[in-house]
Structure 1
Amino acid sequence: MSPLIRQHRYALGVTLRRLLSQPFSSIANILVITLALAIPLLGAAALMSLRPVANHLTADPEMTVFMQVSATPAETGAVADRIRRDHASEIQALRVISRDRALSELKANPAYAQALAVLPDNPLPDAIVVTLEGEDLAQRSAKLAALWKTWAKVDMVQVDSAWVQRLEAILRFARASLLFLALVVAVAVLAAVFNTVRMQALSQREEIGVARLVGATESFVRRPFLYLGAISCGVAALAAIGLVAVVLDPLNAALADLARSYGTEFALRLPQWEWLAAFVVGVALLGALSARWSVTRNTRF
């Protein structure tokens, strides 16, 4: 066994003995970090669970191109073909609604049947309904509307973008809020680990001094504290994942009735295991970084 591996084994053993020698303090510290980590993790679970729903919703926004009343079916078809040809990569679907079909559908509605019956002619124009796909729908739909309005026989373009703008704004706000919350939690974790390592270093002041007198390197002195920060934060991250998994059950039960009222199924789920593994590793590295900072500042004696 190489000397480096023996040193790491020794440091890990020292760290575990220190944790077990003060079980209440260790558990309390891990619990504080767990609760802090659970909040952004729950937010990430909600945001990632909403992403498929948002993608489904943002695939539905429609633009309606109203032709002039004098436009013939051939001219309407020409405009529809031009949209398909020029913007094939930007649209998901396109359908043409003739003026006769639109009138018959309105007459089928009792609320409009009597009013339409007294009209001598069909006042409705042909319409082309375009379903967009992709991202940045609000900006793209405005540009497309401005372009299509300039085409011959096009009277107006109705853009269904107000709710798209609201949805995109909500998602941007949620992402920004989650990022800010993650930064706040990272600072809280840094502070918790920094203070814990500081107290450990001060309580072992004499032991560290003796180790230096007999030739211990700074890496040897710091290594147990780095393991302390990494293990505490790694365990807290795993505990936070378990806590959020437990909390999601009652939340999903409450969400089920709300989702059914909108005719859909929705449930909050934890992110994929790859994301969770990166979360645990990242938090452990954050703890080690905070421990290194703390032990460097508080063992200068």
Structure 2
Amino acid sequence: MSMFTSTRWAARQTVRAIVEFKGLFLMALSLAGLALTIPFFLATLAWSLSAQVFNVPTQAEVTVFADRSAGEQSVKDLAEAISKNSVISAVRIMPKEDALALVNQSLGMKTEDERSKEKAKNNPLPDIIIATVANNVSSEELAAAAEQFRKIKNVDLVAYDDSWQRYLNALYTALSVVLGILGTVVFLLVLLVIFASVRLTTNAQRDEIRALHLFGATSSFIRRPYSWRGFLTLMLAAVLSLGVTATGVSLLAKPIADFAGLYGVTVILRMPALDWCLLYVGSAALLGYVVGSFAAKDAITRVLRHQP
């Protein structure tokens, strides 16, 4: 049999099986589509919010208050000494005038008020050195560095808080585990849907499979229609998940943008680029072909093993 003839036969058998078992095919398509929608929708949300999330600084900072008697050069020397510590990645100086302006702003006081100007002349705040901690620094290393800073000349007070960073790392770890479990469950669900669909149709067509085998058809020839049906099932399921996700994005885009605007943040909820969507559909179709082929091979082997 020529390649064209075998391909035409496989295509005809694929269409015939879909029409004959349309209820089973639609059920498999719906289940796989909904299963794929969950991770794809969450991935779309994460991708849309990634720019804002990645711009949020996650490094701890150490605030060093200089003695109020320390001059400008002494503060610069202090900042240089702090920057030489291995746990510090960057250092910046906040002059006492800027610190007072920041306090006034946080209290809602206008800097042009006469009282504010009077306070500026008698500024009680010291110069402040803000040291950014490098990545992958443990709490013990940070505590040791803070103790070293306290012993440096012209240092009045050292303050830091890295507990929020530990909480954030724990949250990231928990989210990674949850997403890993979710991805595994979805993957297994899709596999079970394709396996069940192929198994049921092969059992229904076992007489035809035995006849094909009797006339000398190879296993790869017999299972080709089932592989193609697996290909179509996951390809259409991926398209279905794209449609559901697009609907969800269109419904959530404005509420999320309005909510983020209340905090002065711009969030644009949108679908991934066309290239990524095509890659997603193609990958799902390829997975469906592989799973369908494997499931058909296993099911056909069982049918032939129990020949009367």
When the two structures are superposed, what TM-score results if normalisation uses the length of structure 2?
A: 0.78
How does 1:219-238 map onto structure 2 within 5 Å? 219-238=220-239
SS across alignment from 1:74: helix
Q: Which residue of 2 aligns with 1:63?
A: 62
In the TM superposition, residue 88 of structure 1 has moved relative to its aligned partner by 12
CA displacement 1:133-187 (0-9 Å, x = unmatched):
8x65xx4787456435414223444335444444444344333322211110111
Q: 1:147 to 1:273 in 2, by over 3 A?
A: farther
Q: 1:255 to 1:234 in 2, by over 3 A?
A: same
SS across alignment from 1:14: helix
Q: Which residue of 2 aligns with 1:158?
A: 159
CA RMSD of aligned residues (A): 3.5
In the TM superposition, residue 220 of structure 1 has moved relative to its aligned partner by 0.5
**In the alignment, structure 1 residue 147 sits paired with structure 2 residue 145:** yes
How does 1:25-44 map onto structure 2 within 5 Å? 25-44=24-43
Q: Distance in 2 between matches of 1:128 and 1:287?
A: 58
Partner residue of 2:93 out of 88, 96, 101: 96
Q: Distance in 2 between matches of 1:164 and 1:276?
A: 35
Q: Which residue of 2 aligns with 1:195?
A: 196
Higher mean alpha-carbon deviation, 98-107 vs 34-43, is at 98-107
Q: Residue 224 of structure 2 aligns to which amino acid in structure 1? A: R
SS across alignment from 2:267: coil
Q: Which runs of 5+ in 1 are unaligned?
A: none
Between the two proteins, the alignment pairs up a number of residues equal to 290
Q: Judge conservation of contact 1:190–1:286 (CA < 8 Å) in 2.
A: no
Q: Which residue of 2 aligns with 1:47?
A: 46
Q: Residue 147 of structure 1 aligns to which amino acid in structure 2? A: A
Q: Percent identity?
A: 29
When the two structures are superposed, what TM-score results if normalisation uses the length of structure 1?
A: 0.80
In the TM superposition, residue 64 of structure 1 has moved relative to its aligned partner by 1.9
**In the alignment, structure 1 residue 81 sits paired with structure 2 residue 83:** no
Q: Which runs of 5+ in 2 are unaligned?
A: none
Q: 1:171 to 1:105 in 2, by over 3 A?
A: closer
In the TM superposition, residue 228 of structure 1 has moved relative to its aligned partner by 1.0
Q: Judge conservation of contact 1:99–1:126 (CA < 8 Å) in 2.
A: yes
Q: Distance in 1 between matches of 2:167 and 2:46?
A: 16
In the TM superposition, residue 36 of structure 1 has moved relative to its aligned partner by 1.1
How does 1:228-267 map onto structure 2 within 5 Å? 228-267=229-268
SS across alignment from 1:246: helix
How does 1:7-26 map onto structure 2 within 5 Å? 7-26=6-25
